[in-house]
Amino acid sequence: MPKDITRTVRTISAALDAAFRRAVEQENAEGQMLLDMQKQRLVIFSDHHKGSRDGADDFRTCEPAYNAALAYYYRLQYTLFVLGDIEELWEEWPQTVLKAYPHTFELEGKFHQEGRYLRCWGNHDDAWSHTDLVDKWLVPALGTRPLKVRESVILHVRDGEKELGQLFLIHGHQGTLDSDRVAPISKFLARYFWRPLQRILNYSFNTPATEFELRYEHESAMYSWSQAQEKIVLVAGHTHRPVFKSVSHEEITRQALQEAEAKLARQPNASLQRQVAELASELEWTLARNQQSRVPLPLIEFKKPSYFNTGCCAFRDGDVTGLEFSDGEIRLVRWPDDEDAPKPKVLAKANLKDVFAAC
């Protein structure tokens, strides 16, 4: 592994170790949080970056997909977990965002009022790490029920009385240079230089790390930390790039394309030809959207399916991605589906027992 990536891995791993210790202390004070894989349903979204509906707003094109998803999951009795960077508070003031999206907050508030709402703060909405600001702005927007916004959460996943392992849910910016260690400087530049530029151009640049190498370093660090743990699965956001079982969505698509091409070579037919064409199209679309390298590049040597990433709710084409936990499975989903209908498209799925057994 290159020296600069090794340094990044060490720095982020140390930050995740510290965050996990704080989460354990929080758990000892408040009690364990449980997820029964057979009885409870959970959906996780992150990185909405809700703004003020101007040219710098990353969320406005995704509002229809996200609101549709909220209506769907609310009626199916899911718990909603929003995993940081929900509001773009580096660029906007809280009251501006709340005024811009009252209906979305109302939809989220329905979960909260029924005790089916969890929230962590990220680097772009770290204002919510302050209880007084949460009480002043966020609680009234979501209803009168008290709300605690956490840095991270440990969920103990159970199958009946048996504990399978733990989900460690955190935004994922911890230990990074621009988003954590020099965050005040980054926040100043975002508010007074980056936002005005986006407004002038009326164009949103919503990927936090536009260079593939930077995301590669970060995800290598996240995977490295997770694979060193025992019976712990790391779920994060921050990069805006979906990862499932430690494998990126584009790599999943690339593998499916290779398998379909091999089948087509053995037994040519129109159905397989169409499948190959659709997978090739999806791969190029994903690569272009995420500004990825065309060359397959693994995180590091794959050992465990221990790292998952939600993706984001700020894709330029209006799509949102998230993770579902229900019926004993974990699923990476995209809204809308392939027909542009307000339904979830399952991009990948796995049995939770198998995931924890491999960890």
What does 279-342 look like in DSSP terms, one character per residue? HHHHHHHHHHHHT--SS---SSS-----EEE---S--TTS-EEEEEEETTEEEEEEES-TTS-S
Name the CATH superfamily housing domain 3-246+299-358.
Metallo-dependent phosphatases (3.60.21.10)
Q: What is the pLDDT of residue 213?
A: 59
Residues of the chain with pLDDT under 50: 1-2, 179-180, 182-183, 186-200, 203, 205-210, 299
Please, what is the Cα angle at 69 between 64 and 74, to 5 degrees? 130
pLDDT tens digits, 97-128: 999 999 999 999 999 999 999 999 999 999 99
Q: What is the pLDDT of residue 307?
A: 95
> CA–CA distance from 98 to each of 66, 89, 196, 266 (Å)?
16, 11, 20, 57
What pLDDT score does 162 carry? 93
Tell me the residue length of the chain: 359
pLDDT at 188: 43
Beta strands in 160-215 (DSSP E): 162-170
User: Residue 240 — left, alpha, or beta (φ > 0 → left; ψ -120 to 50 → alpha)?
Assistant: left
Q: What does the domain layout of the chain look like in residue ranges?
A: 3-246+299-358, 249-294
Q: What is the pLDDT of residue 184?
A: 55
Q: For the chain, how many helices (H) and strands (E)?
A: 12, 13
Contact of 181 with 261, CB cutoff 8 Å: no
Give me the amino acid identity at 169: L
Residue located via tokens 């996240």:
222
Distances in Å between the Cα of 28 and the Cα atoms of 25, 32, 33, 151, 154 are 5, 7, 11, 15, 11
CA 194, CA 209: separation in Å to the nearest integer? Answer: 14
